[in-house]
Structure 1
Amino acid sequence: MSKERAQRRAEREREAAVLAAAKAAEAERHERREARRRAVASRLPKKRRGPSGVLADRRRTQTRLLVLAFLVLNVLVWLASGDWAVRILALVLTALVGPLVHILMTKN
């Protein structure tokens, strides 16, 4: 009877050793994965948190609407005009005048 108990205990200890080795291997893989992730993340640019609040939301909305208006204007010029010179002129004027209009419209 004591031999059977000793065998069962030895079997349990072997199973526990196998489980512990598997856990240790998994922990090592996890640590290596996290080390790779930290190494890659350290080379990437950090996320910047922009300004928040009502005024920042209003400014973002105004900027989006202005960009959308310039985009619609350029699409209309592109569709209405068959002349490449007019299309390119509209794009150049949008690029030059756009920032000025943005400054004038969002200035408080």
Structure 2
Amino acid sequence: MSRERARRRAERERERAEQAAARAAESERRERREARRRAVTSRLPLPARGSKGPSGVLAQRRRHELTMTAILLGLVNLVVWLAFSDWAPRLLALLVTVLVAPVVHLLLFRRPR
């Protein structure tokens, strides 16, 4: 009986040692990966905190203009979508909207020189 317990205990200890070795190997891989990441990212400039992009007056005006253009063209597509039940006019309107969007934006928000 004591030989059987000793054998099972030795087997459990061997399994624990294998698990500890696997955890140590994973930890070592994680440390190497983090070291590589730190080495690469240390050369990159830090992003500005608290901002997702340009935040000046011109950037704000541009965002507003683009938003208004997108809303207008979206409303046009919504009207076409509700007015026609066939897919051909809907897809044609979507295609025309994508192609005409820069022209509409220019006509709506042209700045005089």
- Give TM-score scaled by structure 2 length: 0.51
2:32 maps to a residue whose letter is: R
Structure 1: tracts of 5 or more residues without a match: 1-27
State the Cα distance separating 1:83 from its structure 2 match: 2.1
- 2:90, 2:56 → 1: CA distance? 39
With 30-39 and 58-67 compared, the bigger mean Cα shift is at 30-39
What is the root-mean-square deviation of aligned Cα atoms in Å?
3.4
- 2:64, 2:36 → 1: CA distance? 39
Among the aligned pairs, what percent are the same residue?
A: 55
The corresponding residue for 2:99 is 96
Change (3 A) 1:101 1:39: farther
Query: In the alignment, does 2:21 pair up with 1:34?
Result: no
1:1-108 alignment, distance < 5 Å = 31-38=31-38, 50-108=53-111
Kept in 2: contact 1:77–1:87 (CA 8 A)? yes
State the Cα distance separating 1:106 from its structure 2 match: 2.8
- 2:74, 2:82 → 1: CA distance? 12
Change (3 A) 1:32 1:77: same
State the Cα distance separating 1:30 from its structure 2 match: 7.5
Structure 2: tracts of 5 or more residues without a match: 1-27
Kept in 2: contact 1:63–1:102 (CA 8 A)? yes
Secondary structure at 1:82 match in 2: coil
Count of equivalent residues: 78
- 1:57, 1:90 → 2: CA distance? 29
2:100 maps to a residue whose letter is: V
If each structure's helix is expressed as a fraction of its own residues, which one has the higher value? 1
